[in-house]
Structure 1
Amino acid sequence: MSNTPLDPSTMSRRRQILETYKMSRDVDPAIRWWMLGAFLVAGGLGFALFHWVLPGSGTFKLVLTIIGTFLIGLLAVMIVFGRRAQKAAFARLDGQPGAAARALTMLRRGWVIEEVVGFTKQQDMVHRVVGPPGIVLVGEGNPGRLKALMASEHKKHERVAGDYPVHDVLVGKEDGQVPLDKLVRHVQKLGRQVKPAEITELRQRLRALDAQRPKVPLPRGPVPTSMKGMRGNLRGR
């Protein structure tokens, strides 16, 4: 069996969900029971609701009640599946080189992610996100080595950013760091300090800086149908 990561763009919607479920189950075996429990609880509440709210009686009411019960149960299943699949995906990524870059693909439109704008031989990395907060430098790896690397990248970006803000974020579980599963939300909460039209100008300023650095391929690992693919699944698309 090939260990090549699956590309969600080559799979049908049903196949994407199935592959996401399989990989989530490997990390979280209880996911099936959570989904079943969600269906039974939500379905039971839905049945009671439709039974008392719908007027009349007979076969027509029973059919509507069954359909409504199934749809409410299915909605609950998808909500539970999405949350636990996301948690399992982060658990699967945690500790892998480039995990932060994979997590950042969960950001919505309006964000531009550049992988590995800075690095060390020991695979400590700095990724860059350009969006409403301005420039966000995201470091992952050994905190001691990252300190000098982040400081160097911060100075480089400040020189070309001008008045646009530059934020530093370290990914990890120690004090002052941001856990991988909370990275996206943390970046989104940095505020809106740059207008959409200004993001284009900011990216143009960064091109000169990027032209001076070598491109480094990001290590690829067995990521669940890629975080981008799973992002679409969790949104119901």
Structure 2
Amino acid sequence: MDSYESVLLVKNEVFVFKIPPRPSNRGYRAADWNLQEPQWTGRMRLVAKGDELIMKLEDKATGELFAKCPIDKYPGVALEAVTDSSRYFVVRIQDDNGRTAYIGLGFGDRSDSFDLNVALQDHFKWLKKEQEGEQTQQQNLDLGFKDGETIKINMKITKRDGSEGNRPKRAVGGSGGNLLPPPPGGSRLPPPPSPQHAPSPAEPTPGNSEWGDFNSASAATSQNPITPANQQNWVQF
């Protein structure tokens, strides 16, 4: 797109004049030029190429380039209006080697000079809007952290019931009350066997002589039940 040329304005008849040096105390005046004898007559084309804007003075029959004027802004040094007429301008032409010179440029009709003003103003308005749009796009896309820039995140974790803090510790030893420790200095006796697993009176439980005496007494009682005849002896015991 930068190599594509867009023609903004064409005027088939323009006049070029040789101008005297610029007065130090005032601007250029077209009345100081020899307007009856122009130095050259030809065609003017205003061409935009990317961000560049060039006024080209060409032969209107062959299209051969007579001079060109790069315009970086308007109003500016490259193209300046005279103080006494709206149809004449001072143009700074430039060759391929960078050498510059100033010439006078005039139109035969005021409408032609008006068209030139409008085309110049529209181009630089468009160029300014394009530059502002590119800057805005770059700012929107620049989402990365700058050098030394950090971010701080404050995270607050809330439990499902809305409470905060540590959960209460579960009791050790399964569900139910706490187990009491055994009494100091003694050993715990094993629990008595259930009736279905109790040994017969003739078979004492090994290692537990205390429970053997208890079983013997139980067996004697079952053999001699308490009756009215021996109840008196039981009470005396």
TM-score range, shorter chain: under 0.3
Q: Structure 1-normalised TM-score?
A: 0.18
Higher RCO, 1 vs 2 (CA within 8 Å, ≥6 residues apart): 1
Larger relative strand fraction: 2
